[in-house]
Structure 1
Amino acid sequence: TAERGVEFNIEGNPFAPPREGYPGLLPLCAQTRPAQATLVPDGDGQLTSDHGVDFARDAERLRPLIAELKTYGCRVSLFVDAGNADLAQAAEIGADRVELYTGPYAEAHAAGDATAMLALFADAARRAQAAGLGVNAGHDLSQDNLADFLRTVPDVLEVSIGHALISEALYDGLDATVKGYLRLL
């Protein structure tokens, strides 16, 4: 619950059609009333996210969906690429936040030189914040790369670390892994 500092966030493709066992993202949010809905433009066949919203193609299709999500009490975040020159458009179509797609940063960090990527992400965060958007970040963030990211990218409100947290917990245990992340944060 929010009063305990815990929020329910649903991430999904708002354009994915309903199917057996899945009513579609907006009906799911209407039923569950999450604190946040993060809109991710994945195709149905994708295993994981690999790109952010294309504002030129999807901004006007997203506008009414964002408005509907807000009627359910959801804060709305859009998954975006850090290099997207149009990310401020997220505010214009009603989003509250952007979630920066950090896969390219994680790759650069693993290769040993994330300096240019950190500068790109810090700039993206500042551009989003100047547009009135909150900044979240997620994808391939882990205990190995999170501290550098948070030290450089200003005022990140939330990080999506679920996959790494569970993967690391398989080796180190859940308690130790959670404590490790809390130390980083």
Structure 2
Amino acid sequence: MTLRSAIIVSPQPSSAASKPSATSDTRSKPWLGPAPRVETKGLYVFLWDTGAKGKFHWGLFIARSESSGVHFHQVLDDSRWLLVKAKEDVVTSEGLLAALKVGELEDTNDEWIKAVEYCVRSARVDVKSLGDFGCRSWVLGAIYELANGGFIWLDPDWYKIRHIEVEATRLALDAVAVDMQIVSQSQMTGL
């Protein structure tokens, strides 16, 4: 696979038990190389290590600076999925493998964040095309809704959304293979 403008940013300081949860503790870990950086106002798909080979935890991240922003993800709490919104720092995000930029927002002020939150809360998962509800299928549905709502410059096209899924998965697998974090831009966004 050819990565377009991929940046390997740092050796991965993760542990096998780093799957984010509603009560995750993201303690700062020392980086062995340059800290990861994202583009302000960027919308990213984040994939974290779960400790299971080929399985990742998926989330959406809105960059408010080159290293921090707002993270939305679904977590399984006993038997139900909960949408969690939290501040996130990519430097201290334990287990983060890959960040795939899928769009850019006009702004990241509180009003925009609330509008994005409202949009992603309403995201529906078509189990026939995306499989059972989970963090991955929710992220894909949320990207579709953000594109459909005009938040990002991406056609609300399921072919493109599925391509983003493939790109993000490959990026995370590459990150595991080289034991580094990777930040890249989706080929589907045209940014």
Structure number with the higher helix fraction is 1
User: Which structure carries more strand by proportion?
Assistant: 2
TM-score exceeds 0.5: no
Q: TM-score with structure 2 length normalisation? A: 0.29
